Amino acid sequence: MTGDMDEFWVFGYGSLMWNPGFAFEEKMPARAFGFRRSLCVWSHVHRGTPDHPGLVLGLDRGGSCRGVAFRVSLEKREDVLDYLRRRELVTSVYLERILPVSLSDGRQARAVGYVVDRGHMQYAGALAVERAAEVVRSSVGQSGPNDAYVFNTLAHLKEMGIRDLWLEGVGAAVAA
């Protein structure tokens, strides 16, 4: 493991991968173990409403997830953590965790990541592809239609060479 105190890494699995919003020294493909990318969070604001929630990504237990790790300078650690907490912890549906990650160059590191709180009312659980597609197809929030969020995510994953078969299945069902 890369030492906890000498390096600071952040793991992104959704929009953080292509829109981190903070300065970093190094960016590298990485895999987090024990968690998977999933449309498992009910969105009441950005991609849905309280009456008609949409779905957004969370990191849920099980499997592994390919994403991106960002190495942040130690001088910027507190500023980046403050920024991430404002961005990710708005409704407390995500929990800040230190995740073991494997970097694409073979190094092992510990990275800050945001995983879904399974006890939170916005946790949607593991949905079948068809059910998720049904929700995504019909939901709109302040940041736009839910399907645009899914298609944008899939386009970025494809650009980065990351396959996510479940999410691709949802996208295909929404488009059908």
88 catalytic residue (yes or no)? yes
Choosing from 7, 75, 88, 96, which is the catalytic residue? Answer: 88
Distances (CA, A) of 138 to 14, 20, 127, 175: 21, 28, 16, 12
* Residues 6 or more apart whose Cβ sits within 8 Å of residue 151: 171, 174, 175
Dihedral sign computed on CA atoms, order 66, 72, 78, 84:
negative
Which active-site residues does the annotation give?
A: 88
